[in-house]
Chains A and B, each alone.
Chain A
Amino acid sequence: MGVKDKVIKVIKVSNKENFLKGFVKENPIFVFLLGMCPALAVTSTFETSLGMGLLVVFVLTSSNIVISLIRNYIPNDVRTPSYIVVIATFVTIVRMFTERYSPDLYTALGVFLPLIVVNCLILGRAEAYASKNKVLDSAIDGLGMGLGFTFALVVIGIMREFLATGGIMYGNYLPFLVDAPIYLFNFDWIINGFVYLLNLIPFISFTTNGFTISDYSLAMFSLPPGAFISLAIILAGIQFKKVRKEEKLAAEKKAFIAEKKRIALEKKKAAALKKVGEN
């Protein structure tokens, strides 16, 4: 393998890493706490989170491409305003398309649709990445970061909708692929399935007695207080893992140092014994 092949291989790997970094390692919401306003405001259901995330993916990718294309022609002093104008243009396009094809999503997102303009994530990527890198790299970066953002939103959205209603619905706001709203998941299915299995046993009959999970759900999680608390729970989980890892590393380091010290001490002892023996 020549040097040239090696270089190409390195670039290919970095492309993949460039795409994947937004999901876990540099996740915009869970790690950098960027774009917190939409993360709290539009995540009351799974669908609105998905819709918002996909809109951000589109805006981020296209604005990254355009900014990367014109990066050498923009004077340094008016850099930020020009980026904002590019982003605002794409947001306006997205706003029109959403109003036309998914009016329910448009009303559900409300003021947060135009507010994509001031999402710190988009301007941050423009400043930190697209203004310094080539078009393809910037596009991949935008796509990866946007999908990472979507991933985080969807995680929060699923958690909140499940706790608030006991199921995950699809078709209320995004009228694609389905004619009427359907349940993607419902906790009642599990209960009904369990009761059905129990009834297979002879001489025993069970009923659910009209039990539905929606009678026992926590409506608070679809309201503003639930947004703060569910995001807090997720962030605490991530921090717990990080703290545990750090503690483990520290313990390993301590053990390593103790081992080294022990070995050094033994050597010293051996040397001393040898000296005594020589004498």
Chain B
Amino acid sequence: MSWTLFATAIISAMLINNVILMQFLGICPFLGVSKRSSSAIGMSGAVLFVMVIASAVTYTIYDLVLHPFDIPYISTIAFILVIASLVQLVEIILKRYSKSLYKSLGIYLPLITTNCAILGVSEGNITNIWTANMPYWNGLGLAVATAVGTGLGFGLIIFAFSSIRERLDSSNVPKAWKGVPISLVVAGIMSLAFFGLVGVI
């Protein structure tokens, strides 16, 4: 396992298979929290934080518990429970040990349980990375790298989008397109731009 493999995993998850524009995961926060760039940064920070921990934990559970005991079919139930309790745990720990981080990320944490990007990345790691022969640490490294890349890609897009949206508010949009429709058109054009990156790696 060389470092280039991890770097490739990060770049590909961040830019080429972008979580919002290519995989359509996490559309709700993309449309909901992107009105101001400050809240977009807070949300993407929280998502990155939880996504990395959640993929590490779910990959571990799948590789060391579900697969050896031959019960991979309950992965959906196991993962959503783990993620829901993990979010609670992260919230409690942040509240106790890091008041400033809690202040900036705290209000976004409860929203993350039902953010499909987290569960989507955890499930995607199992289908794309996990194989029965792969050594545990290599798989875990790749899963975490993918999670970091996905979280960074989420942050990049949601921040760029919120900046566009701030300018969009003051521009003269036809009444029928105001709000969500014009935002979706902007997302479509961004997605078209990112489509040019397909095949780079």
A interface residues, Cβ below 8 angstroms from B: 33, 36-37, 40-41, 80-81, 84-85, 88-89, 91-92, 95-96, 110-111, 114-115, 117-120, 123, 220, 223-229, 231-233, 235-237, 239-240, 243
In the complex with contacts A225-B189, A228-B187, A240-B176 CB distance below 8 A: yes
- Identify which of B77, B119, B180 gathers the most chain A CB atoms within 10 Å of its CB: B77
Q: Which 10 A-B pairs have the closest CB atoms?
A: A228-B188, A232-B184, A240-B176, A41-B24, A236-B181, A229-B188, A225-B192, A88-B77, A36-B27, A225-B191
Which residues of B are found within 8 Å of A114, using beta-carbon distances? 75-76, 119, 123
Interface residues of B in 63-99 (CB under 8 A from A): 73-77, 80-81, 84-85
Contact call A85/B184, Cβ cutoff below 8 A: no
In the complex with contacts A81-B84, A88-B80, A224-B24, A229-B123 CB distance below 8 A: no
Main secondary structure of the interface of A (DSSP, over half): helix
Closest to A91 in B: B76
CB of A117, distance to nearest CB on chain B (Å):
5
29 inter-chain pairs at a CB distance below 8 angstroms, sorted by A residue, are: A36-B31, A37-B27, A37-B116, A40-B24, A41-B23, A84-B84, A85-B77, A88-B77, A89-B77, A92-B74, A95-B73, A96-B73, A111-B123, A114-B75, A114-B76, A115-B25, A115-B123, A117-B119, A118-B80, A118-B116, A123-B114, A224-B22, A225-B192, A227-B24, A229-B184, A229-B185, A229-B188, A232-B182, A239-B175
Contact call B81/A81, Cβ cutoff below 8 A: yes
CA distance A80 to B73 in the complex (A): 22
Which residues of A are found within 8 Å of B141, using beta-carbon distances? none
Interface residues of B in 11-56 (CB under 8 A from A): 21-28, 31
Contact call B76/A37, Cβ cutoff below 8 A: no
- Size class of the contact patch on chain B: 35 or more
- Is the CB of B115 closer than 8 A to any CB of chain A? yes
Contact call A226/B188, Cβ cutoff below 8 A: yes
CA distance A58 to B116 in the complex (A): 20
Closest to A223 in B: B195
CB of A193, distance to nearest CB on chain B (Å):
34
Which residues of B are found within 8 Å of A231, using beta-carbon distances? 184
CB of B188, distance to nearest CB on chain A (Å):
3
In the complex with contacts A41-B24, A118-B119, A95-B185 CB distance below 8 A: no
- Is the CB of B177 closer than 8 A to any CB of chain A? yes
Which residues of B are found within 8 Å of A224, using beta-carbon distances? 21-22, 24, 191, 195
CA distance A228 to B195 in the complex (A): 13
Closest to A239 in B: B176
In the complex with contacts A84-B84, A85-B77, A91-B76, A225-B177 CB distance below 8 A: no
CA distance A229 to B25 in the complex (A): 17
CA distance A225 to B26 in the complex (A): 16
Which residues of A are found within 8 Å of B179, using beta-carbon distances? 239
